[in-house]
Structure 1
Amino acid sequence: MQVINKNNEFKLVNIYSQTIKLNDSFAGLIYAIDITEEIKKENLLEILKNINQIIIKLSSKDEIYKNVMESFYNQKTFDFVCIATKNENFTKMELKYCKGDYKKEFLEYLAEIFETDPKYSDKCMATQYILKNQIMIINDINSVNFPNKKLLKQLIDNNFHSALFIPIYKNGKIDAGIGLCVKYKNYFNKVCLSIFKEIKEDIEYAIKKIEDYTLLDLLKEAIDKNLFMDTYYRRKCKYFICE
């Protein structure tokens, strides 16, 4: 059973009831057991499993990012999921794959300020964590000293109270970022963080592997081309004087 407590925290509970004897009469006893953290862990492990399957099956970076976003969103755990990618020639992060319950103005403003340039650190907190290559966790939007009050207002207007950001690095540089928002407070804990770290490592490994394989294919193609030209040149020299 899903419940929201007075602190606007999301909880999952199992409800049990039984009849007891009290003061020579019968009464009903009802009690609840909080299973929230157990279910959160199960959901995240399922996402991790799906992501690992994605990594095994797909060989395109864009396809991996798109399917990772779908995997997060389809679990119906997060109210907003967005993956931004970075072009090597620019500092701006492009919001590429996004889904969720949000207002159009929120995404437009996020696209405007989402940069990897250090001078944008006072406009977007995620930029600070990109530069440090660390996972950002906010469990109560209102309790954080946001440097950008307009972004804070946008988050509140969209009823987002918890947020998480995962920077994805490749060869020591930012390649993408995964943003998650939830409408409840205190959603992310230490167990969540450890699984998110594993998700980050697995995606980074896959992106690096794709690049390595691409380079190997290009190298193989270049070698094959050189061998072909060398063979062609040798055969030609049988009939013409070659210098």
Structure 2
Amino acid sequence: MRDPHRVNLFQKTPFLILNIIMREKSSFKGGNVIKRKILFSSYVDEERIVTTPKEIELRNIANHYRYLISIPFRNRIKQRIAVVIMKNPSEAGIFDNSINRRLSDDTIYNVCDYLYKHSFNFSKVIILNLFPIFGPNMKNLVNDKPNELLGEDLNSNKNNEVFSEVFNSLNHVPHRIILAWGGYPNLGNNLPKVVKAKFRKLYKDRINEVINIIGNRPTYKVGDSLSGSKFPAHGKVWYDFEPMKQFSHPIV
């Protein structure tokens, strides 16, 4: 007969997983959860990280864009470049004066981990974004800065210039352009349908604009596509057991 006081391991699993996640991402102080600062791993040559613009300070993040971050790996002799295109910057590249280091973020950390382990033996990762404005995610940007996303303050022209410069620099250099912007942004439940439709159109139009800039260069994705093969998986959900494969028709 089954002991009624015996706890099934599978019943405890969600609780155990939650605790592991909390320990990894947060620390506790006075009963409150405090988010840990995510830094770059030891295989990253942090002193040679380059951003455009060059200086992005934590206290000025609300007024900043990041068009590019270039992250070199240590002890890689041959030049092999990964160009990864995602949605928008979160924290990576910001210089935190309190610890005298640049911050990473959970997505960039995961992307670097995948590419560092990859058999192509990448020496450097260049991160570009569909939208260069800083924000934890698109949902926050839509709610906090709708004028920037729907107006001219998005700095798309400058962003496009950086895209073109990066792609032109890849001539005669072994490289892969990896699409990692994920599906439609989660916009929450508070926006009117008309506004949501505008942002979905903005997102689709921006993807097609970037694809046109890429031109006939081969593009790749990691893992399975989303939404009927229209969208590549977001870099945050890459796993090192998933293959990198060519993604030939990403236009939506």
Bin for the TM-score computed over the shorter chain: under 0.3
Could you tell me the TM-score, scaled by structure 2's length?
0.23
Could you tell me the TM-score, scaled by structure 1's length?
0.23
Q: Work out which structure has the larger RCO, using CA pairs closer than 8 Å and 6 or more positions apart in sequence.
A: 2
Larger Rg: 1
